[in-house]
Amino acid sequence: MPLFRKIITVSTRHEGEVINLTLQVAAVIRESKIQEGLVHLFVKHSTAALTTIEYEPGVLADLSRALSILAPDDAVYAHDKKWGDGNGRSHVKAALVGPSLTVPVVGGELSCGTWQQVVLLELDVNAGREREVICTVTGE
């Protein structure tokens, strides 16, 4: 079973930004020539995360608010007190959503639902970052 790997690099601009990776992941699958298998995505950072969601501004705002219930902007973070990074909430949100996502490849296509997009969540308060997502396609 072959394995094809490519890194998707995205530039983010601000905390709470949600980047739609669906087209880039679909392009990696096409390049791999794999027809039936799985694509695994991993974001190599502790203040970003991966999931799927309907890519519609209302839903994205609702998600952002839900994450702020878990890790409010105005809470006191032990991480921030110690290191002064100011991104304690970013680490917490990223650990809960998670860095890893696997999606089936069916007939050479990414097999998401109609309203289901693959997204990267930029959770860091410190803006203007380059984020690496490692794509690994396996199958036949």
Q: Which one of 25, 29, 94, 123 is in contact with its own copies (CB under 8 A)?
A: 94
| Smallest distance from its own copies to CB 30, Å | 19
- The residue among 71, 68, 69 whose CA lies nearest residue 88 is 71
Q: Which one of 104, 109, 127, 128 is in contact with its own copies (CB under 8 A)?
A: 104
Distance CA 18, CA 39 (A): 20
**DSSP state letters, 48-113:** EEEEEE---HHHHHHHHHHHHHHS-TTSPPHHHHHH--S-HHHHHHHHHH-SEEEEEEETTEE---
Asked if 136 interacts with its own copies (CB under 8 A), we say yes
Q: Six-digit token pair at 14? A: 């601000």
Asked if 96 interacts with its own copies (CB under 8 A), we say yes
Q: Which residues bind its own copies (CB under 8 A)?
A: 1, 3, 5, 36-38, 40, 42, 44-46, 51-54, 56-59, 61-63, 65-67, 69-71, 75, 77-83, 88-89, 91-92, 94-104, 106, 111-113, 115-116, 134, 136, 138-140
